[in-house]
Amino acid sequence: MSEIKVVRNILQTNDEITSKNKKILDEKGIYVINLMSSPGSGKTSLLERIIAKLKNDINIAVIEGDIYTTKDAQRIEAQGVPVIQINTGGACHLDAEMIKGALNSLTLDNIDLLVIENVGNLVCPAEFEIGEDIKISVLSTTEGNDKPLKYPLMFEKSGAIILNKLDLIEFTDFDKKEFYKDIKSLNANVDLFETSCVKNQGIDEICSWLMSKIKNKKMKIK
Amino acid sequence: MSEIKVVRNILQTNDEITSKNKKILDEKGIYVINLMSSPGSGKTSLLERIIAKLKNDINIAVIEGDIYTTKDAQRIEAQGVPVIQINTGGACHLDAEMIKGALNSLTLDNIDLLVIENVGNLVCPAEFEIGEDIKISVLSTTEGNDKPLKYPLMFEKSGAIILNKLDLIEFTDFDKKEFYKDIKSLNANVDLFETSCVKNQGIDEICSWLMSKIKNKKMKIK
C-alpha cells in the first residue's frame, strides 16, 4: 500500500529536524520528555501532580500538543509554569517541525525539564522522534491489560511506562500479572511506575526518578 | 507541512475503492457499521453483547482491524459468527483497500449486518471512508468528557455515539451535561446511547435501533 512509502519520506525529513532540536536542547542541558498515551489516560493530570511537586526545586516548561482546543494548556498554565500550545489542526501526532516552532517561542535559558505532552493517540506519536531524551507512555487501568501487545510500538520505544488510574483497578478486569509479562516481552529494561492522580499515589517515586535523570543530563553536558 | 498533501493523495485513491466496496455491499443489502474509538473504550465488549442479543434473528459478520494480534477476533469468533482479521502491521487505521481484501474472503450472501471494528485510535480512522453506512463512535466515561472537543472529527462524522462504561461514571469526574452540550455543538442530529457492558445496560436500545437501520437498508435496496 502506498502509505508505507509516504510515511518513510516524512520520517526522513523529521529525523533531520529532530537532530537540530536535540542540539539546541542538549546545549542548554534541558532534559526532555515526550509524554504519550491514548486520549484520557491521564497525561495532563499526571503532569499537574509532577509540576506541583517539583516546581519549587527546578524550572519546568511544557509544550502541549492537541489537535484543537487549549484545554490542557490552560490546566498547565494554572500551575504557574511556561506553556506553549501546539494545535495540529487535524494531525494525529507532533512532529519535529512543530517542536522546532515551539522552541523558538520558549525562553530556554535556565529550563531544567521540558515536558512535551503529545496528542492523545496510542499509535502514531511513537513513530516520530521530536528531540526528546525519553519517551514515557501512560496506560490507565480502565483501558485493559491487553493494550501493550495490541499497540506495541509505543511500549517498545518507551524508557518508562506509567500504569495510571490505580484507584479504579478494582472495578476492572485489568490483570497486572499479564500486563507486566507482556511489557517484559516487548521492552525488558523499561522503568515502571504505578500511579493514581486522584489519590496522589506514586508521584513521589516518579519525581525522584526524574530528578536523577535531570541531574544526569546536566552532568553529561558539562 | 508536507504530510497534508500526502494525506489528500491517499484519500483520493481511498474514495475510489470505497465506492467499489459500497457497490458490492449495497447490492447484497448489507448494513455496514464502522465502529471506532480509542483503545480500551469497549468496542469489542459492546460487539460481544450486541452479537449475543441479535445472532438468532439476523446474520452478522465482523471484520476486526488491529495493528497486531488476533485477540479481538478470537473473542468475536467465540460468539459463533464469521470474522475476518485485518492486521495493519503498524498502520493506525483501516482503509478501503484493506476492506476490499477482507470482503473477498467473506461469504456475503445472506449477511444482514457487517460490523467493521476499526483500530483503536480516536484520530485517524475518522479520516478514511471504507464503505460503511454509518460511523459509530464509542467513548468511555473513564476517558473524560472533554474528548469530543479535543478530537472533534470522529464525533462530527458519527451517525451514533455510545457513552460506555456507565458503571464507572460514579468514580470519575465525567460531566454528562458538558459532554452532551459539546456533542450537540459538533453534531446536533447524532443518535446517542449510554451503555454498560458489565451491567448489560443499554444494549437492548442499541439492538432495536440497529434492527430498524438494517430493515431500512433492505427496503431501500429492493
The pLDDT score that the predictor gives to residue A134 is 98
Residue A222's pLDDT is: 64
Nearest CB partner across the interface for A39, out of B4, B98, B147: B147
Report CB contact under 8 Å: B122, A13: no
Residues 135-164 of B with CB under 8 A from A: 140, 142-144, 146-147, 149-153
Nearest C-alpha neighbor of B49 from the set B212, B210, B215: B210
Whole-number pLDDT of residue A184:
96
User: What's residue B219's pLDDT?
Assistant: 83
pLDDT (tens digit, 9 = 90+) per residue, B157-169? Answer: 999 999 999 999 9
B33 vs B169: CA distance, rounded Å: 26
DSSP 3-state of B191: strand
Phi, psi angles (nearest 5°) of residue A87: -105, 115
Structure confidence at residue B5 (pLDDT): 30
For chain A, residues with pLDDT lower than 70 are 1-11, 222
Residue B222's pLDDT is what? Answer: 64
Question: In this predicted complex, what is the ipTM?
Answer: 0.81
Residue reference for cell 500479572: A177
Residue with grid cell 519535529, as numbered in its chain: A96
What residues 22-41 of chain B have any CB closer than 8 A to a CB of chain A? 38-40
Would you call B123 and A121 a contact, using CB atoms and an 8 Å cutoff?
yes
* pLDDT under 70: residue ranges of chain B: 1-11, 222
A166 and A190 Cβ atoms separated by less than 8 Å: no
H/E element, B5: helix B2-27
Report the alpha-carbon distance of residue A2 to residue A162 in Å, rounded: 35
State residue B6's pLDDT score: 34
